[in-house]
Structure 1
């Protein structure tokens, strides 16, 4: 067991920087906008701000002095507390994925942050190191991987455990990574167009204008300038062209900063995803921890022949302040390459493009199922009877138009829905404008269900569903399948008894 030690001293500076960022709004409001105010509310607000800032600063220092960590051959041990001390132990075997996040702050001081995510819920679901040296992060990750590998090799071969991934990792090690994908300039351009990043500039400029107007009250001057500009057709044309160029450039630059250094690689035991030019993030997951695969296509991606492959894991899949999940194998992969990459990275997963369609009687269930959105909207339109373009019957046209859209979406969903049960896999595709292909191994599914409503009972149909471990729990399934399939679905799931991995 290594000796317990404190976290990196730069953690104090990092927490202080976070405190300052969170305090900027209050500083501007209390000491800039209300600088000359002598009201009781503002006076007490300033006092409370100084007290809160001071107490938080003291807690940051005490946190660094009292929080320690150590690693042994099996677990993380985390210690905290001054008068009432506590210890938390997290076994390496519970770690689902490893997330790294290197912000501008980390790059300046040549450090990083690393999170060891578990499948548990709550604040203590991860072992977090907000500031840590690259060398220490590498050492901890290598130590954990080595300890887990040694634990697997120590298990007797007679135990009923699927060791396919682990035995390969033991024989070959983790040093030989294979790079599966790096985006080209053409990929970046496609991504900027498909993600509609060029549309983000206008909301950003609008938000910036309103914030400046709140402080400096420039609205009156801006209105006068705006009236002069729109009074000349050539000036409007120039502004329009400039906005298009600026938006396109902004979209490409924004996409490059996000996906320019994107890389997907793997070795025999783990999958690695890195992204970001300035603000870097990295995601690592053991192949045996992948609960399911999902291939998603929006309408625009279907037109351009692109897709997004996402990995479902029991651990958290976000990194740092970025709410975008980094468990995606690049969101803008060519559809053919997406299928190939799944086979390359996870050869134990089988993805087939040949699946069964829903029976025709399933279409009648979907068509005659009442749409509460249309019913409620029609009632509201009938009550208010709004006039649009001087049409008194506009409410009726809107109601009919919504009804047609709902019918078309249901038709698309029916024709797009596919399903198949293989020996060890379930594969489901569904969706209307946006489609999703879900694939999971039988031993990774923790629960299944079969339900039937009154219409399904009349036509001999049913709905099947699966649940996989994830955050939040991942639900999948398909509606209106033949009853015979639903009955065999239970039998198929019971066959997992001989596949369950013991932990």
Structure 2
């Protein structure tokens, strides 16, 4: 039976047609209100009305012409008003299905369904706005098309509120929201306690020697204390906002596996459901964030063919105790056997990344000393950067075993990558001029559409290590 999308999609189509003109029309109306005349040329109103009518009629026609039909485990999609496009997608070719229901959609009893094939990692191969019953039918049809012989027993895992709280302490929402919070607090403070306007100083004049000549040590200490208090307030406000956003996004996170199909359900006001084929998972990435690592918590991400993930972050488990991690992943992803890597990088690997950064910092200090000798107080920063780079490369470990490549990268956040050999597209080896002086290389494992390609780079490896990894990789190609 031929079906059409829910009529609410007409509203979204109209919005997509006029969204680029919302700001010009708003500016036009604001100008009319301020002028209080309304004395504009008639062709302006006629053009706006005609554009609105054309956009509305076109949206209705495109909605009417866009149909879909599920027939014998094949999905047929037809769309287009003048140029008609027909697409046939066998359900066996669908890797992942994502069902999303906002609170409005739940009231209307409809769902937003995205179907992804192997070549649709960034955008869905099919996008349907259909009834909840049709969404469940698609989910069951795709699930029945899968091979369920590997794990016949249903297993489930729930993420608790405490685990989500630990995630929010060091999430990207916190670090990305901190500059926004600083700017908001500055504007609010300036609005509550306005200061008289002062003469503007040019950027070049700010670096003049006379600007720094009157600065004393007591004034510098007072400014630093005020700055630390201000940053502390901003950190607390941003952290509270991060807690709220994490609870809103990840509340009710429930993950299960039945056969070869992994299902993820989560959401508070908006409910989301995702089905992923386990055989499409290329790698697991266990991330131990800064504060969560101190309390024994970790997050599990993945790189999966055809899955763009929640806000492009391919989360499998947002937060879990490290003591429970091995047990949950053993039944959830038995294809990946977790182990701790033990092989270290070359002892000179720390210089590979430290040399460019230290050179840039040293140049900045020398330039700053031309204006004021106070820049000499930043010399300890060079030592701190060197110690941090040394820590990173001393704690970075790697290993190869059976069909897995394991790489643990240290830092503020620690990430351990478990990459399947058959999922590796290629191996790139490069050597810069200063790496050539140290007889070291940078190795990169290439996979299909990684979420973060830097997590698959391993700098500071020797020629012998490269030959060993290439030999491990070529064995599967011959087999």
TM-score, normalised by the number of residues in structure 2: 0.78
- Hey, what does 2:81 align to over in structure 1? 82
- Hey, what does 2:150 align to over in structure 1? 168
2:137 aligned to which of 134, 139, 150 = 139
- Hey, what does 1:300 align to over in structure 2? 291
Matches within 5 A, 1:312-323: 312-318=303-309, 323=311
* C-alpha separation in 1, matches of 2:126 and 2:287: 31
Cα deviation per residue 1:396-425 (whole Å; 9 max; x = unaligned)? 433x24422331221121122111110111
- Hey, what does 1:103 align to over in structure 2? 102
**C-alpha contact (below 8 Å) 2:114/2:127 kept by paired residues:** yes
Matches within 5 A, 1:335-350: 335-350=322-337
User: What's the CA shift for 1:12?
Assistant: 2.0
**C-alpha contact (below 8 Å) 1:365/1:455 kept by paired residues:** no
Aligned CA distance change for structure 1 residues 47 and 383 (closer, same or farther; 3 Å): farther
**C-alpha contact (below 8 Å) 1:261/1:277 kept by paired residues:** yes
Alpha-carbon RMSD across the aligned residues, in angstroms, is 4.0
Aligned CA distance change for structure 1 residues 31 and 460 (closer, same or farther; 3 Å): closer
Aligned CA distance change for structure 1 residues 187 and 61 (closer, same or farther; 3 Å): same
- Hey, what does 1:236 align to over in structure 2? none
SS at the partner of 1:330?
strand
Matches within 5 A, 1:103-502: 103-120=102-119, 125-129=124-128, 131-149=129-147, 167-168=149-150, 172=152, 177-184=154-161, 186-195=162-171, 203=180, 222-223=192-193, 251-318=242-309, 323=311, 325=313, 327-358=314-345, 362-367=346-351, 371-380=355-364, 382-383=366-367, 385=369, 392-398=372-378, 400-453=379-432, 461-470=440-449, 474=453, 476-497=456-477
SS at the partner of 2:33?
coil
Aligned CA distance change for structure 1 residues 57 and 426 (closer, same or farther; 3 Å): same
Aligned CA distance change for structure 1 residues 190 and 454 (closer, same or farther; 3 Å): closer
Aligned CA distance change for structure 1 residues 486 and 342 (closer, same or farther; 3 Å): same
Aligned CA distance change for structure 1 residues 16 and 306 (closer, same or farther; 3 Å): same
**C-alpha contact (below 8 Å) 2:3/2:69 kept by paired residues:** yes
Cα deviation per residue 1:377-409 (whole Å; 9 max; x = unaligned)? 54455446586xxxx2133433x2442233122
User: What's the CA shift for 1:494?
Assistant: 1.5
Extract unaligned runs of 5+ from structure 2. 196-232
Aligned CA distance change for structure 1 residues 453 and 257 (closer, same or farther; 3 Å): closer
* C-alpha separation in 2, matches of 1:202 and 1:364: 36
| Deviates most, 436-445 or 472-481 | 472-481
**C-alpha contact (below 8 Å) 1:78/1:89 kept by paired residues:** yes
Matches within 5 A, 1:47-66: 50-66=49-65
User: What's the CA shift for 1:447?
Assistant: 1.0
* C-alpha separation in 2, matches of 1:252 and 1:31: 39
User: What's the CA shift for 1:202?
Assistant: 9.9
User: What's the CA shift for 1:436?
Assistant: 1.3
**C-alpha contact (below 8 Å) 1:92/1:148 kept by paired residues:** no
* C-alpha separation in 1, matches of 2:369 and 2:470: 51
User: What's the CA shift for 1:206?
Assistant: 6.6
Aligned CA distance change for structure 1 residues 433 and 193 (closer, same or farther; 3 Å): closer
Aligned CA distance change for structure 1 residues 36 and 395 (closer, same or farther; 3 Å): same
Aligned CA distance change for structure 1 residues 385 and 72 (closer, same or farther; 3 Å): farther
**C-alpha contact (below 8 Å) 2:164/2:251 kept by paired residues:** yes
Extract unaligned runs of 5+ from structure 1. 150-165, 226-241
TM-score, normalised by the number of residues in structure 1: 0.74
**C-alpha contact (below 8 Å) 2:159/2:320 kept by paired residues:** no
- Hey, what does 1:30 align to over in structure 2? 28
* C-alpha separation in 2, matches of 1:384 and 1:224: 33
* C-alpha separation in 1, matches of 2:110 and 2:278: 27
**C-alpha contact (below 8 Å) 1:119/1:125 kept by paired residues:** no
**C-alpha contact (below 8 Å) 2:158/2:252 kept by paired residues:** no
**C-alpha contact (below 8 Å) 1:11/1:64 kept by paired residues:** yes
Cα deviation per residue 1:9-68 (whole Å; 9 max; x = unaligned)? 232245457778887655654334652346999998876655544433222211111111
User: What's the CA shift for 1:144?
Assistant: 2.6
* C-alpha separation in 1, matches of 2:121 and 2:54: 25
SS at the partner of 1:180?
strand
* C-alpha separation in 2, matches of 1:189 and 1:168: 34
* C-alpha separation in 1, matches of 2:392 and 2:293: 14
How many residue pairs get aligned? The number is 442
